[in-house]
Amino acid sequence: MREHRPQEESCSVCKGKLKKLGEDVSEMLEYVPVSFKVVRHVRPRMCCTGCDRIVQAPAPSRPIDRGMAGPGMLAHFLTAKFCDHLPLYRQSAIDTQEGVELDRSTLAR
């Protein structure tokens, strides 16, 4: 889990103290050689106690907008497909053995 906190420690408008209001959680599936892992990005929302201003750190960038695949996972599939000449149905079967079920139509997109 990686937590991304806002850079501001206090409200930039009224200099009031920030308190936690909630958080946004996003997950990205990442490939580490011979295993998959889910990296959870947590971005707490902070609210100023003086002026009710809400502050949150920006979301980390992703290789594919709104996609769940991380850069390591994309590199793994592209290398297997184009360098190792491994068909998508075989990649899908190998990943199922690791506990990650990815349909070959998902890999083709």
- Using one digit for the tens of pLDDT, what is the confidence trace for 22-61? 999 999 888 877 778 888 889 999 998 888 889 999 988 8
pLDDT for residue 109 is more than 80: no
Domain assignment of residue 32, given as a range: 2-108
pLDDT for residue 75 is more than 80: yes
Average pLDDT, whole number, for the chain? 86
Rounded Cα distance, 88 and 107, in Å = 7
Predicted pLDDT at 43: 92
18-32 and 35-48 beta bridge pairing = antiparallel
Mean pLDDT for 73-86 is: 89
Helices vs strands, H then E, count in the chain: 3, 4
Q: Which residues contact 54 (CB under 8 A, 6 or more apart)?
A: 21, 45, 46, 47, 48
35-48 and 54-55 beta bridge pairing = antiparallel
| Count of domains for the chain | 1
